[in-house]
Structure 1
Amino acid sequence: MSVVLDGPRVLLMKRFRRHRTAAACAVCAAVGWSGPDCGGHDYAVLPGGHVEPGETMAEAAVRELREETTLVARVERVLWTGLHNDRPATYFLMADVEGCARLSGPEAEANAPDNRFELSWATADDLNPLGLHPVEARHHLAELLRR
């Protein structure tokens, strides 16, 4: 996952996602909703995604950031590790960020009423109201932003 800072703000991807069933929805599972239907969720995540074969987690973070936001950057350092949707995740602080954040790639192509994406800059006070997922990232980011 890529952590891009701009002073006291961090770049997030605001999401709205509605699955056909609660059983198919990671957010429903995280909040304990058993359905049967998924009513949809507004939440936010950091830019990031999967690691491709032969790629390190750091390389994936740089690639995913470029694909999702058009930003070009390098990894400065690991901030923390944890889980994201029950998968191992590494959170990298990005440096030498170039460009203007603009939604692109598969996220721009998949934008639809039941699967919306929007880039947004957020402060530490915005993390809870935006429903940053995973919840554990909120504390780490708020601490980083308040330094």
Structure 2
Amino acid sequence: MSLIPPARPVLGAIAVVYHLGQVILIQRKTAPNIGWWGFPGGHVEMGETALQAATRELFEETGVIARPLEYLTNVDVLLRDPVGMVQKQYLLTAVLCAYESGTPVPDDDALQACWLPVDEIENRGLELIDQVGDVARLAQRRMSQQG
């Protein structure tokens, strides 16, 4: 008799690259959140830290190289069906990254990739994934404290 394993949250990492008042955002090309804008990121692979996953996903989705600095925050994502039942759950570790090189070019899971000024993210009319503006402002504050 085969048992179905219990549903568990999925661990993901997002790269929050802050540089000169801007962050890199991508427009997602795959589920979940097709067409929505957020930070580059994806699943943490077995044997990989969230810091490593964030910079790997950043490079795969944008071609940009960055150095992970620190864990910035965590973002809980609960995807619900029409009646409100949780269908999938993610715990996303936001990793603050220092830009090193490259120009954002969409690849892998990204339809578009670009630098956006933190102060304008929520005024561009983009469909933003939850907490994108808050996380971008947190990155801006953290980097200003380091500089």
TM-score grouping bracket, smaller chain normalisation: 0.5 to 0.7
Q: Which 4+ runs in 1 deviate beyond 6 A? A: none
Equivalent position amino acid for 2:41 in 1:
G
Question: Of Structure 1 and Structure 2, which has the larger fraction of its residues in strand?
Answer: 2
Alpha-carbon distance between aligned partners in 1 of 2:42 and 2:90, rounded to the nearest angstrom = 11
Query: Shift in Å at residue 16 of structure 1?
Result: 6.5
**Corresponding residue for residue 145 of structure 1:** 140
Q: Is the 8 A contact 2:74 2:93 kept in 1?
A: yes
Task: State the alpha-carbon separation in 1 of the partners of residues 128 and 54 from structure 2.
Answer: 18
CA offset digits 1:97-133 (Å, max 9, x no partner): 22222222x236xxxxxxxx10122123432232321
**TM-score of the superposed pair, with normalisation by structure 2:** 0.67
Deviation at 1:96, TM superposition (A): 4.7
> CA offsets, 1:66-114, max 9 Å, x none?
111111222111111122353111111112522222222x236xxxxxx
Where does residue 73 of structure 1 map in the other structure?
A: 66
How many angstroms does 1:15 deviate by? 3.9
Cα shift at 1:5: 1.7
Work out the CA distance in 2 between the residues paired with 1:81 and 1:101: 24
Matched, 1:53 2:46: yes
Pick closer, same or farther for the CA change 1:107–1:143 going to 2, 3 Å.
closer
3-state DSSP of counterpart to 2:109: helix
Count of residue correspondences? 117
- Whether the 8 Å contact between 1:127 and 1:142 is mirrored in structure 2 is no
Asked if the contact 2:38–2:132 (Cα under 8 Å) also holds between the matched residues in 1, the reply is no
Unpaired runs of 5+ residues, structure 2, are 1-13, 79-88
Q: Does 1:133 align with 2:129?
A: yes
Q: 2:55 aligns with which of 59, 62, 67?
A: 62
| Matched residue, 2:114 | 120
Unaligned runs of 5+ in 1: 18-24, 28-40, 109-116
Shift of 1:143: 4.5
State the AA in 1 paired with 2:116: A
Q: Residue 135 of structure 2 aligns to which amino acid in structure 1?
A: H
Q: Name the structure 2 match of 1:14.
A: 27
For normalisation by structure 1, the TM-score amounts to: 0.67
1:4 counterpart residue number:
17
